[in-house]
Amino acid sequence: MQTQTWIHSAKYDLSFIIAPSFLAVILLFFFPESWLWSNEMPNWAWFAMVLLIDVSHVYSSLYRTYFDKVSLQKHKKILFFTPVWVILVAGGIHYFSEAIFWRLAAYLAVYHFIRQQYGFLKLYTRTEGIKQIDVWMIYIVTVFPMVYWHLSEPRNFMWFTAKDFLFYTNQNLADLLKYAFWIWVIIYYFLVIKDYIQTRQINLPKTLLILSTMLTWYLGIVYFNGDMAFTMLNVVAHGVPYMALVYATEQKKAYKKTGFWKLLFSNFGILIFIGILFVLAYVEEGFWNGLVWHEYDEFFAFFPTINLTDNLLLSITIALLSMPQLTHYILDGYIWKRDF
């Protein structure tokens, strides 16, 4: 019987890295039809998914970088200069063109989301070696839905803003690529089944990861056309596993920590770990709402509401508020390397 390669343990990985995607898919079928096929999404759902999961997961990388004394000392240059350059560049781009700023931010986010799935694939194949066909599969099941989105009729959801992407509407081409996609999926799983019959071995976490990635990206972007469906599949499948990965990797180093940080990664420290993320996410979104979006005032009664009419001041504000997220996207390409 094949020994499985888990990141932390079978129970932990299945519960917090693999299962969230499948649970999100199952929940879809209990939603009202309007949530699956329209831009309708209740405000409580935005709070639960965008603030508590998506924004919180951005701050979880702090535990691996700025909150880790060893990492901070070892990589102080990149950890210091990255947010500084992000603020300067983001502010400059936004001042020049708000549309270009959000477009670049959206494509950077998409790249980050895709690469995370590839990163998990590498982790789950680290003992046996990664197969090229699995690499193709993870990229096809993530890139194709984005290509379909670019080509299809207007969707009822968006990444950041309605004009994030460079759309080229061609539904016939989109449908043709969809047929090609399913031909590839059939070929891939035929080869997976064939390999299992011949060897009687299967890499369970890798197989579940690829399947969950295909389901969440295809259902959220291609099959359904609703803001609620897209947001839940997009956010839950990305944010929860990332936070779980950070906690698992940092917990393994807990024996080196003392005081509060040792408590943080104890058995019940995960509640404090998550609580800190929630507070940081809430504060950030409070300022976003009060200074930029003005859409969820019921959640942020203690934050000032100011209409920024000066373009320079607005650009500086958006650069500062987007810095944690953009810095997370950039640093995530470094903090999971062996020498970090």
Q: Taking the domains of the chain in order of start, what are their residue ranges?
A: 10-331
Q: What is the pLDDT of residue 1?
A: 55
DSSP for residue 2? P
Using alpha carbons only, what angle is made at residue 287 by residues 281 and 288, rounded to the nearest 5 degrees?
85
Q: What is the pLDDT of residue 252?
A: 84
Q: What is the pLDDT of residue 338?
A: 77
pLDDT in tens, 57-111: 999 999 999 998 889 999 999 999 999 999 999 999 999 999 999 999 999 999 9
Contacts of 203 (CB under 8 A, 6+ apart): 2, 4, 5, 124, 125, 128
Task: Determine the straight-line distance between the first and last CA of the chain, rounded to whole angstroms.
Answer: 34
Q: What is the pLDDT of residue 263?
A: 82
Rounded Cα–Cα distance for residues 144 and 211 (Å): 15
When the pLDDT of each residue in the chain is averaged and rounded to a whole number, the result is 95
User: Hey, how many other C-beta atoms are within 10 angstroms of the C-beta on 209?
Assistant: 24
Rounded Cα–Cα distance for residues 336 and 340 (Å): 7
DSSP for residue 62? G
Q: What is the pLDDT of residue 255?
A: 67
Q: Give the chain's residues under pLDDT 70.
A: 1-2, 255, 257
Q: What is the pLDDT of residue 115?
A: 98
Contacts of 264 (CB under 8 A, 6+ apart): 257, 272, 273
pTM value?
0.95
Using alpha carbons only, what angle is made at residue 147 by residues 215 and 47, rounded to the nearest 5 degrees?
55
Q: What is the pLDDT of residue 253?
A: 81
Rounded Cα–Cα distance for residues 233 and 230 (Å): 5
Q: What is the pLDDT of residue 314?
A: 98
